[in-house]
Chain A
């Protein structure tokens, strides 16, 4: 075996600008589609086993040093569809990383293990009897250790987190520091624009360079168009290498007896649909959930400077269990551009006054345990994310907004802004029911964002009702695996990155 050589910084990535031929023909033992949480972990684990691994990433390679800490610019350079990926009605922004490292580059570092009650649902409802808390614990332990996951220290709880914690304590609600994958946090507040000084333990500075140390090769700007099969078994992929403007530089084929799909819960089902594979159950692209979240802002008498300090500090887990509400509240920092998306204090002067007082705002992110009611569809030209908040989930969303408002008020906020298309401001407990109960579950009424698409190629024991086995291999196509958040049979309420890391590790270790 070759020497294991870890680069001290950056990655060696084949990019469109390196390509001199019109067609590239490659061979590997495993081709991994996508370089985010699932793809990077798969690549490392398999390369470490001595397999020849090729990773294909549709997005560009942007080294950390090139990050700008400018959210608008980052949306255009690091995110899927330049930050414009949305559901069909346009009221839910689905933010996913689209660069080497995927969403792990632009997430908020929050780490939760899959809640036990979710795993119990999976065992009971999907026949995933082997995915117990005990089975997964060693995988969680390992990835958490590898990624420096730790409870936020006191210095990592910014002013917005401190006031929220005080309010939660006043209400007697359970509030805890968030756990994050970060080393020596620089407290810049720019997590969503990528961590310029390589403190966030994203795939860009962990599993990808580790995979490369074991010989994995990474190709950026390379969009897989089709999965290939021979005699019904996976045999590789066809791809195109594209410039930033989308024009094709070269075509590519990779022959490999193992194909791991880890392009995320939107792109992975699209690729399967384009390829016409693994869909005996009719479930490819179905079962989409996404934790539709709101950022509820409160105005405080004292300066908060919500962009200063670690972006995410504490969370309220009082209502996490579905029997108690099925939602989580996380304190969330934000910058000015993000602020414009949050609230509607009124057009013109009221809005500009609100922005002029930006430093007095703190935010609460609501995450709900939504039902898997959406679908990803490919019509031959464009993908569609067909998802509307279901009527079954709307009460959870309203409960989460009410709890966020109550928490802001208890924390000392004088005004709370409901993130709706019309002006809704809460100034006292007495306002809460009136302002929230009159919300309608209509498109374009709430300003929702999703960072956690999931569920579109879900695991299950029954090949007639699920796409993938518990070991990650598709029921229908031997050698074709899925290792991203598409796997999750139900939404998991919490930020899913650790779940994906653990499942991808387990899948790679079980791969024959």
Chain B
């Protein structure tokens, strides 16, 4: 299928989906259905300079386009200018996202992959470039607008945001500026209380004893 034909087909599906407000099923299941109809390989709908950049060696659980998508989302979603927060480029955000995705079962992971691909590519119709090439200000506007959009748009933006946010804020390095204490029991030297004593049961038989 050539690029133009793909574009037309995806655009039609997208428009139809937007009109109905839901596809075959809500959420990522619907995303999978749409991408299946679109014959899959539309990641190359519009080339990006980032396609030439190989992902790092550790990114074995992400496709190259997924890696670039999350790396761009990290920069877009986690600006620290004007705060004392830690620069997200110094935190393994995308590595953590990859780890979370590793926990997904295969069918869900496949559906999510389809959804991410759709998110990256469908922006071509509104902005003339893929998400990974969208200027940060425009990308933020896109997230905000989609947060008010259809079920599918809300699903994709929520999933991407949650993954990136978790990937950043789970790192202990990000905690001190917020005064978040993190784990405290060992730091405070709290004693282990062990198992609770057996209840006093009147029906305990004679001869039984508690060790």
Structural contact, A443 and B27, CB atoms closer than 8 A? yes
CB distance from A501 to the nearest CB of B (A): 12
Structural contact, B180 and A335, CB atoms closer than 8 A? yes
Given A90-B155, A358-B180, A422-B148, also A205-B78 (CB < 8 A): no
A416 to B74, CA, bound (A): 26
Structural contact, B140 and A348, CB atoms closer than 8 A? yes
Chain A residue with the shortest CB-CB distance to B156: A444
Name the one of A65, A70, A352 contacting B85, with C-beta atoms under 8 angstroms.
Answer: A352
CB distance from A407 to the nearest CB of B (A): 25
Name the one of B85, B136, B209 contacting A3, with C-beta atoms under 8 angstroms.
Answer: B209
Name the one of B108, B140, B151, B180 contacting A442, with C-beta atoms under 8 angstroms.
Answer: B151
Given A7-B195, A8-B195, A347-B77, also A359-B179 (CB < 8 A): yes
Residue numbers in B under 8 Å from A48 (CB-CB): 201, 203
Interface residues in B182-203 by Cβ distance below 8 A to A read 182-186, 188, 190-199, 201, 203
Structural contact, A6 and B211, CB atoms closer than 8 A? yes
Number of A-B contacts (CB under 8 A): 212
Residue numbers in B under 8 Å from A39 (CB-CB): none
Chain A residue with the shortest CB-CB distance to B157: A421
The reply to whether the CB of A171 lies closer than 8 angstroms to some CB of chain B is no
Structural contact, A183 and B184, CB atoms closer than 8 A? no
Structural contact, B169 and A340, CB atoms closer than 8 A? yes
Residue numbers in A under 8 Å from B29 (CB-CB): 88
Structural contact, A9 and B83, CB atoms closer than 8 A? no
A308 to B197, CA, bound (A): 29
The reply to whether the CB of B82 lies closer than 8 angstroms to some CB of chain A is yes
Interface residues in B62-93 by Cβ distance below 8 A to A read 76-85
Of the listed residues A71, A303, A337, A341, the one surrounded by the most CB atoms of chain B closer than 10 A to its CB is: A337
A51 to B203, CA, bound (A): 15
Pick the interface stretch among A196-204, A274-282, A484-492. Answer: A196-204
Of the listed residues B22, B81, B170, B197, the one surrounded by the most CB atoms of chain A closer than 10 A to its CB is: B170
Q: Mark B137-156, 1 if CB is under 8 A from A, else 0.
A: 00011011001100100110
Residue numbers in A under 8 Å from B151 (CB-CB): 89, 442-444
Given A356-B85, A444-B158, also A197-B178 (CB < 8 A): no
Residue numbers in B under 8 Å from A69 (CB-CB): 182-185
Given A198-B193, A442-B151, also A352-B178 (CB < 8 A): no
Structural contact, A64 and B211, CB atoms closer than 8 A? no
CB distance from A207 to the nearest CB of B (A): 9
Chain A residue with the shortest CB-CB distance to B169: A336
CB distance from B30 to the nearest CB of A (A): 9
The reply to whether the CB of A124 lies closer than 8 angstroms to some CB of chain B is no
CB distance from A450 to the nearest CB of B (A): 16
The reply to whether the CB of A428 lies closer than 8 angstroms to some CB of chain B is no
Residue numbers in B under 8 Å from A184 (CB-CB): 193
Q: Mark B162-187, 1 if CB is under 8 A from A, else 0.
A: 10011001100011011111111110
Chain B residue with the shortest CB-CB distance to A193: B183
The reply to whether the CB of B205 lies closer than 8 angstroms to some CB of chain A is yes
A382 to B196, CA, bound (A): 38
The reply to whether the CB of B56 lies closer than 8 angstroms to some CB of chain A is no
Residue numbers in B under 8 Å from A71 (CB-CB): 170
Residue numbers in A under 8 Å from B199 (CB-CB): 142, 145-146, 210
Structural contact, A210 and B198, CB atoms closer than 8 A? yes
Name the one of A81, A210, A308, A348 contacting B77, with C-beta atoms under 8 angstroms.
Answer: A348
CB distance from B136 to the nearest CB of A (A): 8
The reply to whether the CB of B28 lies closer than 8 angstroms to some CB of chain A is yes
Structural contact, A444 and B154, CB atoms closer than 8 A? yes
Residue numbers in B under 8 Å from A344 (CB-CB): 147
Residue numbers in A under 8 Å from B191 (CB-CB): 197
The reply to whether the CB of A169 lies closer than 8 angstroms to some CB of chain B is no
Residue numbers in A under 8 Å from B147 (CB-CB): 344, 347, 421-423
Interface size class on chain B is 35 or more
A346 to B161, CA, bound (A): 11
Residue numbers in A under 8 Å from B161 (CB-CB): 340, 347
Q: Mark B17-59, 1 if CB is under 8 A from A, else 0.
A: 0000110011111000000000000000000000000000000
Name the one of B76, B107, B143, B190 contacting A382, with C-beta atoms under 8 angstroms.
Answer: B107
Structural contact, A198 and B83, CB atoms closer than 8 A? no
A444 to B28, CA, bound (A): 11
The reply to whether the CB of A445 lies closer than 8 angstroms to some CB of chain B is yes
Structural contact, A197 and B180, CB atoms closer than 8 A? no
A70 to B28, CA, bound (A): 28
The reply to whether the CB of B210 lies closer than 8 angstroms to some CB of chain A is yes
Structural contact, A188 and B190, CB atoms closer than 8 A? yes
Structural contact, A353 and B209, CB atoms closer than 8 A? no
Interface residues in A124-147 by Cβ distance below 8 A to B read 142, 145-147
CB distance from B33 to the nearest CB of A (A): 13
Q: Mark A168-201, 1 if CB is under 8 A from B, else 0.
A: 0000000000000001101011100000111101
Name the one of B77, B201, B203 contacting A351, with C-beta atoms under 8 angstroms.
Answer: B77
Name the one of A90, A186, A213, A381 contacting B28, with C-beta atoms under 8 angstroms.
Answer: A90
A65 to B157, CA, bound (A): 37
The reply to whether the CB of B2 lies closer than 8 angstroms to some CB of chain A is no
A22 to B169, CA, bound (A): 43
Structural contact, A9 and B194, CB atoms closer than 8 A? yes
Residue numbers in B under 8 Å from A5 (CB-CB): 210-211
CB distance from B112 to the nearest CB of A (A): 10
Residue numbers in B under 8 Å from A358 (CB-CB): 178-180
Can you list 10 A-B pairs, Cβ within 8 angstroms, ordered by A? A9-B195, A84-B103, A90-B28, A91-B155, A145-B199, A146-B199, A196-B186, A199-B193, A205-B195, A353-B82
- Additional pairs, 18, CB under 8 Å, beyond known A4-B209, A444-B155: A6-B198, A10-B195, A88-B27, A186-B188, A186-B190, A188-B185, A198-B194, A201-B196, A336-B175, A337-B170, A344-B147, A346-B144, A348-B77, A381-B107, A423-B144, A444-B158, A445-B154, A447-B158
Q: Which 8 A-B pairs have the closest CB atoms?
A: A69-B183, A340-B165, A89-B26, A444-B154, A82-B103, A9-B194, A72-B170, A5-B211
Residues on A lying within 8 angstroms of B by beta carbon are: 1, 3-10, 48, 64-65, 68-73, 76, 81-84, 88-91, 142, 145-148, 183-184, 186, 188-190, 196-199, 201, 205-206, 209-210, 213, 303, 305, 307-308, 335-337, 339-341, 344, 346-349, 351-353, 355-356, 358-359, 381-382, 421-423, 442-445, 447
